[in-house]
Structure 1
Amino acid sequence: MTDRKFANTLARGLSVLRAFRISDDGLSHSQIVERTGLSPATITRLTYTLKELGYLSQNGNLLRLGPAALALASVAQMSASFLDLANGPMQELANTSQTLVLMAVRDGHSMTLVRTWRPRNASSIWLETGNRVPMSRSSTGQAFLAALNAERFQALDPDAELHAQREEAQQQLAARGFVFVQGEARYSKTVNAVSRPFYASDLGEPVVFGCGATPEELTDNRILTEVGPMLRNAMQDLENKTGGPRALDQLRA
């Protein structure tokens, strides 16, 4: 990054914290190097500093998120007041649709799952909190792109393909009230999902709610006729409860 205001050392330190997944039972230095793409010497300096500050802890050769990181996550979650209102309806949506309902936030040029609601009696659900999906060619990412204003979108330094994906997502959102990527355009052949952005004033930028399952369980037709409308209605109810702007109102702004 060439912006003089951008603190590269801070960005690298945060990339270390983002390397951890909920399924990890600790990470070695070499695993952090692999996940961040930073040099071993840089990782040694950063992890030492983060340990001293309490953001990492170490047991033997494995590093884990420390108490300072847990405290920060707790504060962030408590400040997102809309989550209290979302929990019940999203669990009901998961049970009714028999899909994994998720909430994702932007993480660089990816979307990270920060909350999931699993349906009761589900056979297999493949995603969990901490998983990332690409912004490009995922319904989650494209719903986020559709919700961004022009200035924030340009800050992503988008190429022509991302411009086209954003335009397509905005058209879907205006026409149907939800966004999904069909067929060969999907980034993954094992996941099918439908998404809708939510304007979270607490967080300063949109988050995305979605429903996902395997393509066999969640076909494109089922998205269009059943699950997509269910997600749209649930999100409209949440917008009414929180008093926040509707997705379509923001598109017209």
Structure 2
Amino acid sequence: MTPPEARPDYEDDRNFATTLARGLSVLRAFRTDDDGLSNAQIAERTGLPKSTVSRLTFTLGCLGYLTQPQRNDRYRPGPTLLAMGHVAAASLSFLDPAQGMMQALADQTGTLVLFAVRDRDKVALMRTWRPQRAASIWLDVGHRLPIGGSSSGMAVLGASTTEELACLMADHPDPALDGRPLDALRLEARDQLIAQGYALVRNELRHTRHISAVSVPFRSARLAGPVAFSCGALDDVLPEARIHDEVGPLLRDSVRRLQQLVGADARPAWPASPND
């Protein structure tokens, strides 16, 4: 696998710091359900040589971004990285008022409610709300989904401006399962947002066949591009008819209330024209 930092379009830019990119790819290799990672595991996930990973984890450990309780033990996120995470979370201040609203939506619909952001060539889950009195699907924070194979990705894609789409395409996301490029899929997603205020991915294009989901984009002045709130469940709990009759409109209205609550622009999160 070619590591993201080695892509030719980045290497050609003299301002691109390859060593820094490699160090950040090591940090991005960690997931919430990991009980630490060895250098070999990090090398496998990043596509970097093990010798390079060993130097990077040693350096990151010295700086506090990683911790290794005992010599030859697995690496885990360190205190410096955790402190930076808290600083970064401050830019998502709208999630504080969203907490009660999204939990109520999860309980009302019996679905897992998600908050997702674009993470280079995919979307990554940053927060989840599980229904309190119903079994639901389980997806961990940090779980990454393909742009063209998830409703979260469709919402982000449909709400992206042409400039934001260009930035997304620079990370070379996978095309849709039917082979269509994402700039074509963007028009389909945008049409859904205009017509109904929410987006979903067609069954034949879904990354996870047995899970159904619907998503609504959201914009914050503190973020560079659109993000998404979603409701997801197994197909028998969330068939497409229920999405259109109940869950999609409820999610759309909840996101609109959140926009009003945090004083965000009342305009839709997607551009007025596909050429914007």
TM-score range, shorter chain: over 0.9
> Following the alignment from structure 1 to structure 2, what is the Cα–Cα distance between the partners of residues 145 and 212?
18
Partner of 1:188: 208
The correspondence for 1:105, drawn from 93, 98, 117, is 117
Query: 239-248 or 148-157: which moved more?
Result: 239-248
Partner of 1:20: 30
Partner of 2:7: none
Partner of 2:227: 207
Query: 182-191 or 239-248: which moved more?
Result: 239-248
The offset of 1:190, in angstroms, is 2.5
> Following the alignment from structure 2 to structure 1, what is the Cα–Cα distance between the partners of residues 123 and 271?
21
How big is the alpha-carbon RMSD for the aligned residues of Structure 1 and Structure 2?
Answer: 1.6
2:101 is aligned with 1:69: no
Partner of 1:118: 130
> Following the alignment from structure 2 to structure 1, what is the Cα–Cα distance between the partners of residues 183 and 139?
27
Corresponding pairs, count? 253
2:95 is aligned with 1:83: yes
Partner of 1:174: 194
Identity of aligned residues (%): 49
Q: How does 1:20-169 map to 2 (within 5 A)?
A: 20-60=30-70, 61-157=73-169, 161-169=181-189
After TM superposition, the runs of 4+ consecutive aligned structure 1 residues lying more than 4 A away are: none
Give the secondary structure class of the aligned counterpart of 2:149. Answer: coil
User: Using a 3 Å threshold, how does the CA distance of structure 1 residues 97 and 124 change in structure 2: closer, same or farther?
Assistant: closer
Paired residues of 2:190 and 2:270 also in contact (CA < 8 A)? no
> Following the alignment from structure 2 to structure 1, what is the Cα–Cα distance between the partners of residues 192 and 266?
15
Which segments of 5 or more consecutive residues in structure 2 lack a partner in the other structure?
Answer: 1-9
> Following the alignment from structure 1 to structure 2, what is the Cα–Cα distance between the partners of residues 165 and 180?
12
> Following the alignment from structure 2 to structure 1, what is the Cα–Cα distance between the partners of residues 153 and 105?
21
Which AA in structure 1 matches 2:37? L
Which segments of 5 or more consecutive residues in structure 1 lack a partner in the other structure?
Answer: none
Instruction: Calculate the TM-score normalised by the size of structure 2.
Output: 0.87
User: Using a 3 Å threshold, how does the CA distance of structure 1 residues 169 and 68 change in structure 2: closer, same or farther?
Assistant: same
The offset of 1:3, in angstroms, is 2.4
The offset of 1:195, in angstroms, is 0.6
The offset of 1:18, in angstroms, is 1.2
Instruction: Calculate the TM-score normalised by the size of structure 1.
Output: 0.95
Paired residues of 2:38 and 2:75 also in contact (CA < 8 A)? yes
